[in-house]
Structure 1
Amino acid sequence: MVRRLVAGVLAVGALLGGAVLVGSAPAEAKTVAVSDTLLPGQKLMAGQYIRSKSGVFTLIMQPRGDAKLYQRGVKAPLWASGTWRPNSVLVMGTDGTLQVIYGRTKVWSMSIKSVGAKLVLPNDGKLAIYNTRGKANWNRHMVIGTLMPQSKIAAADAYWDEVIMYSVNRVYTLKFQPNGNLVLFRNGTTALWSTGVTKASEAYGWVGPNGDFATVNAFGDLTFFYETRRPGSVLQLRDDGHLVMVNGRTVVKTFH
């Protein structure tokens, strides 16, 4: 789980159904106009992408199953879905949620249900889902309600932007402090729970495929760890303020 992964150089192929297929096309193919929007019901298959109108930012669906956002001239991704099922598809659901789907299985989803919402990659790189009123329900600095396996929340550093977890009603937040302590807040000010970690700057946390929840420091050292021993478990921040590990419908751990 090394954070500073070096991404390969993207070669751009021909225009295909509103997205572009990555391949060995000549450099001039990069000048082809590509949509910056994924509309309800549209999808990105492996190798396809959307791009900001400025050409600086690109969201691409990788063959190994994760969606990644890149900035031109920067090797490491700015954001990633963290999904790892080869040949998965990124779908802008008609219900307003962004989804990674493998076959008929939804392996990842983000945002809140809002019929007609669309995914937009603007010129500032702040990938977001906008509802029909033009309000952002989600952006790449947020996790809404559920932290799914391999997805991350993170403190800001030179290589990764801050990602904060929110309850669906936006009353509760789970975020890293500069010292690496992961804290649950109500209304952004009242601390309700924390990992109690100190001296662990540039921290990030994730849910593993085996059902564990962990946080690490900038060097990749574990600073907090909880193991459910139930693969497929997720971390949920509920509208009542409860922070729980859930497997299916079963709560296997309540942190608060």
Structure 2
Amino acid sequence: MISIKSVRTKALATLVAGVAAGATLLVPSAAQASGTTTTAATAPTALNNLLLSGQSLKPGQFRRSANNLYTLRMQTDGNAVLIKGRTAIWGTMTNRKSSSLVMQRDGNLVVISGRTVVWASNTAGSTGAKLAVQDDSNLVLYNVRNKAVWTRAMVLGTLGPNRALKAGQALFSTNRIYRLMMQTDGNLVLVKNGKTALWGTGTGKNPGAWVVMQSDGNLIVYTAANKPLWSSKTAIRTGSVLQMLNTGNAVIVHGRTTVWATNTAGR
């Protein structure tokens, strides 16, 4: 295992504080934690749990699951949060006041602050898609054929600064062939077609571990107790992002420069 001394940054303290406050929680459901995706075969029809194409949630507005257990609320602080009771179990981590959550007609679910998109599901091309707040705790985007194209366990294409993957969550390539999966055993693994492992951090036997693309440009796997296990060694490159490419390569990009890669393209 590589040496990762001095990799802790203020970004971790900020992120952990946000999670504790419930503003940045990204906690998978039990089914997601076991590696499955909880989606129904067909989309629900009750309008109170759907955000239809062209609709939006302004600050204070919400959609609620049919069983009344889960609420997706556009908070006044600019964060769109899925809540069970008083506990936030998922959020967009956007925190820009006066933002709105918009189900765009092109199929992209976005948080918009003014005219700036600050978060997106990256599902443009699924014209007419709708968002469902489901009874199983999942958020699912369905296309017009009622096929799931996105769930809250998925990040498509890019993991931005200060974005984290908890156990059971994954960064997918936009063609859905490759995924960088934060496994429940603590290993971050790049998988092809859901079954072939191409690369991993070797951090298994650490249940509850999570990974974050820090604002300083470093990708780090932390234990459940927030101790570093693995690092990409790419710090001091503020604003870098992690991308899962359609070629099968996972890369960290700073501006237009690739500063780290799994070197798995074409495999």
**Fold match (TM-score > 0.5):** yes
Structure 2 residue 135 is matched with structure 1 residue 129: no
Q: Deviations over 1:131-157 (max 9, x none)?
A: 0110110011211222123332121xx
CA contact (8 A) 1:97 1:112 kept: yes
CA contact (8 A) 2:219 2:231 kept: yes
Deviation for aligned residue 1:50: 1.0
User: Could you tell me which of 187, 194, 197 is aligned with 1:181?
Assistant: 187
**More strand by percentage:** 1
Closer/same/farther in 2, CA of residues 230 and 98 from structure 1, 3 Å limit: farther
Q: Name the aligned partner's letter for residue 94 of structure 2.
A: T
| Higher-RCO chain (CA-CA 8 Å, sequence separation at least 6) | 2
Secondary structure, in 3 states, of the residue corresponding to 1:35?
helix
The match for 1:44 is 57
Deviation for aligned residue 1:61: 1.7
TM superposition outliers: structure 1 runs of 4+ over 4 Å? none
Give 5+ residue unaligned stretches, structure 1.
9-32, 156-161
The match for 1:104 is 115
- How far, CA to CA, are the matches of 1:248 and 1:37 in structure 2? 37
Closer/same/farther in 2, CA of residues 83 and 205 from structure 1, 3 Å limit: farther
- How far, CA to CA, are the matches of 1:37 and 1:77 in structure 2? 19
**Equivalences for 1:192-203 in 2 at 5 Å?**
192-203=198-209
Q: Name the aligned partner's letter for residue 123 of structure 1.
A: D
Aligned CA-pair RMSD: 2.4
Structure 2 residue 261 is matched with structure 1 residue 254: yes
**More helix by percentage:** 2
TM-score computed with the length of structure 2 as normaliser:
0.75
Give 5+ residue unaligned stretches, structure 2.
1-14, 24-45
- How far, CA to CA, are the matches of 2:171 and 2:76 in structure 1? 27
The match for 2:92 is 81
User: Could you tell me which of 234, 246, 253 is aligned with 2:241?
Assistant: 234
Q: Name the aligned partner's letter for residue 107 of structure 1.
A: V
Q: Name the aligned partner's letter for residue 130 of structure 2.
A: K
Q: Name the aligned partner's letter for residue 229 of structure 1.
A: I
Secondary structure, in 3 states, of the residue corresponding to 2:87?
coil
Closer/same/farther in 2, CA of residues 223 and 62 from structure 1, 3 Å limit: farther
Structure 2 residue 130 is matched with structure 1 residue 118: yes
CA contact (8 A) 1:83 1:149 kept: no
- How far, CA to CA, are the matches of 1:42 and 1:103 in structure 2? 16
